[in-house]
Chain A
Amino acid sequence: KQEVTQIPAALSVPEGENLVLNCSFTDSAIYNLQWFRQDPGKGLTSLLLIQSSQREQTSGRLNASLDKSSGRSTLYIAASQPGDSATYLCAVSYTGNQFYFGTGTSLTVIP
């Protein structure tokens, strides 16, 4: 069974700090990995997609890295803001279709 784990489950940081969210997956033969944010009671917003052949992707203050051999991905958020408060989900796909999701990291950025 494909397992995706996210650590920590919750994180609270003061505004302006840089932070790293972690995602690990048991089967390293992934096709791609996508990071999402989920606001309470809302849908999922796509942040970054990394193909299996890529090592990292960047969008604004976000940088996602992928280390397939160790079964890990990290999401780096620079200069955090209160608006970044949300749950961050990591999802991996082995076919390009079905995603397996982690349980998420709940981030709170304190003003």
Chain B
Amino acid sequence: EPEVTQTPSHQVTQMGQEVILRCVPISNHLYFYWYRQILGQKVEFLVSFYNNEISEKSEIFDDQFSVERPDGSNFTLKIRSTKLEDSAMYFCASRALGSYEQYFGPGTRLTVT
């Protein structure tokens, strides 16, 4: 069964460093999402991406964040200068055209020290 994959599973970085989280959505999906979950808190929406542009973003998704679909399979989230409060589990999700069901990847745990 097709699934969303994410790499790495765990990333440790120092405050102020740039990180890139990678996702491979399900192959025929056209809508892509990033969410995050700080330990013990709700899952929060960051951004949605369709047709090579951002379609929606939350207040969390400020200038420190960016997304890109560099090729036909990968979808990335970049954090330019990480802060301690960026420590969280980051989930990628995707959905197909004509369906609103979102499928989530296993997540990348980001630890900022």
- Chain A residues proximal to chain B, CB less than 8 Å: 31-32, 34, 36, 42-46, 49, 51, 89, 91, 93, 95-104
Q: Contact check, B42 vs A102: say whether CB atoms are below 8 A apart.
A: yes
Interface of B is mostly: strand
From B42, B48, B55, B106, contact of A43 by CB (8 A) = B106
With A42-B107, A44-B91, A49-B101 given, is the CB distance from A97 to B55 under 8 Å? yes
Most buried by A among B56, B58, B100, B103: B100
Chain A contacts for B41, CB-based, 8 A: 103
**How many B residues touch A, CB cutoff 8 Å?**
23
> How far is it, in angstroms, between the C-alpha of A46 and the C-alpha of B43 when the chains are bound?
14
Closest Cβ neighbor of A6 among chain B residues: B42
Bitwise, B17-60 to A at CB < 8 A (1) or not (0) is 00000000000000101010000011111001000000110100
With A93-B100, A103-B42 given, is the CB distance from A98 to B106 under 8 Å? no
> How far is it, in angstroms, between the C-alpha of A44 and the C-alpha of B48 when the chains are bound?
17
Residues 62 to 113 of chain B near chain A (Cβ within 8 Å)? 91, 93, 100-107
Q: Contact check, A36 vs B104: say whether CB atoms are below 8 A apart.
A: yes
A-B contact count (CB 8 A): 52
> How far is it, in angstroms, between the C-alpha of A100 and the C-alpha of B102 when the chains are bound?
13
- Chain B residues proximal to chain A, CB less than 8 Å: 4, 31, 33, 35, 41-45, 48, 55-56, 58, 91, 93, 100-107
Chain A contacts for B48, CB-based, 8 A: 97-98
Closest 8 CB pairs of A and B: A44-B104, A43-B106, A101-B43, A97-B48, A49-B101, A98-B45, A43-B104, A101-B42
Most buried by B among A36, A46, A51: A46
Chain A contacts for B101, CB-based, 8 A: 34, 46, 49
> How far is it, in angstroms, between the C-alpha of A98 and the C-alpha of B48 when the chains are bound?
7
> How far is it, in angstroms, between the C-alpha of A32 and the C-alpha of B106 when the chains are bound?
23
